[in-house]
Amino acid sequence: MEYTVETRCLHLEEEKNKDKDFGSVSFPIYQTATFAHYGVGRSTGYDYTRLQNPTREQLERIVASLEGGCDAIAFASGMAAIATLMECFKPGDHLIVDGDLYGGTIRLFNSVCKNKGIEITAIELAKEDPLPYIKENTKAVYVETPTNPMMNITDIKKLSEITKEKGLLLIVDNTFLSPYFQNPLSLGADIIVHSGTKYLGGHNDTIAGFLVTNREDVKEQLRFFYKTTGAALAPFDSWLILRGIKTLAVRMERAQENAMAVAEWLKGQSCVTKVLYPGLPEHPGYEVMKKQARGFGGMLTFEVDTTERAQGILEHVKLIQFAESLGGTESLITYPVTQTHADVPKDKLLENGITDRVLRLSLGIEGKEDLIADLAQAFTAASK
């Protein structure tokens, strides 16, 4: 029997070992570093938690099921997942990446990957054809869609047709939409990246990352680097993400409802010069999103008329918290130029439209009336 995505957030198609777990509804936390053997050549199937752990394996099976992959690998953070992924490339390899990415990813590409001899070319994949940039040593294309923070939308299927024709890996960061709203593997991607800290965890209480693939050859390579570099997610954190995924469907729906309501409200404010939310029909990626995703998500970015107003809003929000991160039950407002993208060169920020007047909102599950009222009072206070 094939379950719906809502059900797969809680149950695998074939649950195993229920008797061994004493019928536990909440999957047990195997908080152990190592596993004893019955004798020489007689293993339980587990050796050492860096290599495998039952709690983490349950989480990995569920994430793989949600994304339609043959394997999902759970890491200690989203950046640990991306850093391990980059071990698949060697000096002299060339990657084409989106110009608008999370600042930590940009930092890794520019400061670590380039120093290791990996060539990086950043372009606007939502607007530019990557074909002219593909070279003999090009190995992969890396994209976020929607991008962080400017909410650019790339047509994954169209891009995958190019990467498959050229024999390149297509890597898609699916953090903003989660597997509830978007499944890049079904659109032709080879590897999915998740910051599990965000929507998968959903409660702002733990850090995790994932790589998911539907290719056996890629799975073997990723598993080798995973066990070798040792960036595995701990058992208790695995359990926290398992717990978070149980409410993924209801949280994503509520966050999207709130994002749409707040986006419409922002459009009516005279001091707001730009609202970037792919659920708005005027967004340039709206039609692509309708085609490749089941929803628009809970993230939006907006720009106000002055730096003073932007900073005043941050000073005066009360219910919405001024903090980094996203995807949790609580709504958060972020200032990209000093937080998520603080290490990105100023000229690159301006090129991407990230100014000191730009604010990013992650809508949580509070009442939308309360969120709008909080923004309204913050806007009023910032005008004084």
pLDDT at position 18, please? 62
Please confirm, yes or no, whether 246 is among the known catalytic residues. no
Structure token digits, residue 349: 């920020």
| DSSP code at position 17 | -
pLDDT at position 258, please? 98
Please confirm, yes or no, whether 215 is among the known catalytic residues. no
CA angle 13, 14, 16 (to 5 degrees): 145
Q: Are 71 and 219 in contact (CB under 8 A)?
A: yes
CATH topology of domain 14-245: Aspartate Aminotransferase; domain 2 (3.40.640)
Using the structure block, give the residue that is written with the tokens 């372009």.
123
**What's the CATH class of domain 248-382?**
alpha beta
Where in the sequence of the chain do the CATH 3.40.640.10 domains occur?
14-245
pLDDT at position 17, please? 62
Which of 173, 190, 237, 374 is labelled catalytic?
A: 173
Which of 102, 199, 226, 335 is labelled catalytic?
A: 102
Q: CA-to-CA distance for 322 and 108, rounded, in angstroms?
A: 25
Please confirm, yes or no, whether 335 is among the known catalytic residues. no
Does the structure show a pLDDT above 70 at 19? no
Please confirm, yes or no, whether 294 is among the known catalytic residues. no
Q: Classify burial at 176, counting beta carbons within 10 Å of its beta carbon; exposed 0-12, middle 13-18, buried 19 or more.
A: buried
Residues 6+ away with beta carbon under 8 Å from 306: 271, 357
Does the structure show a pLDDT above 80 at 49? yes
Where in the sequence of the chain do the CATH 3.90.1150.10 domains occur?
248-382
Using the structure block, give the residue that is written with the tokens 């198609």.
13
Q: Which amino acid is at 6?
A: E
Q: What is the pLDDT of residues 54-110, one digit of tens each?
A: 999 999 999 999 999 999 999 999 999 999 999 999 999 999 999 999 999 999 999
Which of 46, 50, 223, 246 is labelled catalytic?
A: 50
Look at 8-22, 104-118, 283-297 and tell me which has the smallest mean pLDDT: 8-22
Backbone torsions φ then ψ of 217, nearest 5 degrees: -65, -40
Q: What is the pLDDT of residues 98-150, one digit of tens each?
A: 999 999 999 999 999 999 999 999 999 999 999 999 999 999 999 999 999 99
Q: Are 74 and 64 in contact (CB under 8 A)?
A: no
Identify whether 130 is preceded by a cis peptide bond (ω within 30 of 0). Answer: no
Which of 8, 56, 139, 198 is labelled catalytic?
A: 198
For all residues of the chain together, what is the average pLDDT?
A: 96
Q: What proportion of the chain, given as a percentage, has pLDDT over 90?
A: 89
pLDDT at position 74, please? 98
